[in-house]
Amino acid sequence: MSHIVEDFESCYRLSCSRDPRYDGIFFIAVTSTRLYCRPSCPARIAKRSNVCFYPTAAAAQSAGFRACKRCRPDASPGSPDWNWRADRVGRAMRLIGDGTVDREGVSGLAKRLGFSDRHLRRLLSEEVGASPVALARAQRANTARLLIESTAMSFADAALAAGFHSVRQFNATIKDVFDLTPGEMRHRSDRACSRSPGVVELRLNCREPFDAAALLRFLEVRAVPGLEDVSGGTYRRALTLAHGIGIVELTPEVRSVRCVLLLDDFRDLAAAVARCRRLLDLDADPLAIAGALGRDKVIGGLVRARPGLRVPGCVDGDELALRAVLGQRASLRAARTQTARLVETFGTPLRQPLGTVTHLFPSAAVLAEADPNAFAGLGLRRAPLQTLAAQLTNGEVRVDAGSDPIEALTRLLAIRGIGPWTAAYVAMRGFHDPDAFPNGDAGLRRALEALGCPVDPRSVAKLQQRWRPWRAYAVVQLWTSLDH
């Protein structure tokens, strides 16, 4: 969708239609008011001569525009590009969202991507209209807004938690971006401030349609006792973050997800929110996906019946890769049992459990150094699991927001005992590749048989080519059909 910003007429037409599907994909800036809005803003669209379009909120802010107080463009869903693009710009955007610039600076971000600061600035300015500093500033401003509106913490603490170097810089940025002081913003907020230390409650916006029930069902059948819990329409788990531990509760609502976070350190707020959004695939463009797959003769009926299905991501790439290895030759039930044993034996107990969520998933370093006899005692295949854990620990394999997927999956497949299904599953959920396809999956065969399709390798290979570039979404449609 990035080309749409260069097509003024398309952007203007979509803005006139107030289609929420394009919220976050581009932003409207009005030169007469110096405000920028999301495409679905209910305000009257300005005349053509007073309008321009930007690919990111940071680009609009860098050009001197302030966020509209009516449509809150800074809170719109993100562009789906930044979840699945495997190039360096996509990886850079994901790393900025994960807080890399705040923790390591622009030089740290450039080092992760393998090129110079100057080249990084030029690349991002050309692609998204803003420098790494401007993108990080926009994220800090949004994090600050969440803390001001959702907590009772002092503004000095909020400034530090959001990544600002001083209260003066915090005040100036809030005023510059939102045309409000922090005090005015808190006064205008219609949310009750949480009085519990470390708790933030916010709403994660998404594009409709959103099949939350199917998403929760997917997570529920794979939820590991002690690590995750799905009950009462809410998903709960603990997160390992840069500055401490977080516990999250995610409850789908109308056009959004209610997110309650209990954090050891508020500096992890932006990263925790980004990971929750990737877990639930909230930045997807479901209408574009349904439009492409809904015409297919085999799965078109499934897609038209459930157009809002998402491909669940993950909150921790190392965890997902290790769990994929545990489940590569096991049923869902067996994989859950084995993973629960691993978590109970090697996982870190939470100081404050949340119901049945009692542990963190064990780190790769802990598993790499564990006694091999302990794996045998748990009935686990040690070799591929410990080899992968060792390579995740020393950085030979990286499954995170800034990794090169091709390089990571190539190294993953080089580990003895790890096959193509595991690599495809990691690509699908760890790297959010919309075209990943776990060939040979037993569930896919059963679903295709139920639809009356031949399941020999040649027929399946021919069939899946029709679903490009959305094969991962086709997979979720077929898996979901087994539940219905």
Enzyme catalytic residues? 37, 441
Q: What is the CA radius of gyration of the chain?
A: 23
Return all residues near 115 (Cβ < 8 A) that are at least 6 apart.
88
Type and span of the H or E element at 182: helix 182-188
d(CA 276, CA 274): 5
Evaluate whether 310 touches 318 at the Cβ level (below 8 Å).
no
How far are the Cα atoms of 80, 297, 381 from residue 25, in angstroms, in the given order? 8, 30, 44
Return all residues near 30 (Cβ < 8 A) that are at least 6 apart.
36, 37, 46, 50, 51, 65
Q: Which residue has the tokens 């877990």?
A: 279
Q: What angle do CA 348, 351, 357 make, to 5 degrees?
A: 70
Torsions phi, psi for 14 (to 5 deg): -65, -35
SS (H, E, C) 235-273: EEEEEEECCEEEEEEEEEECCEEEEEEEECCHHHHHHHH
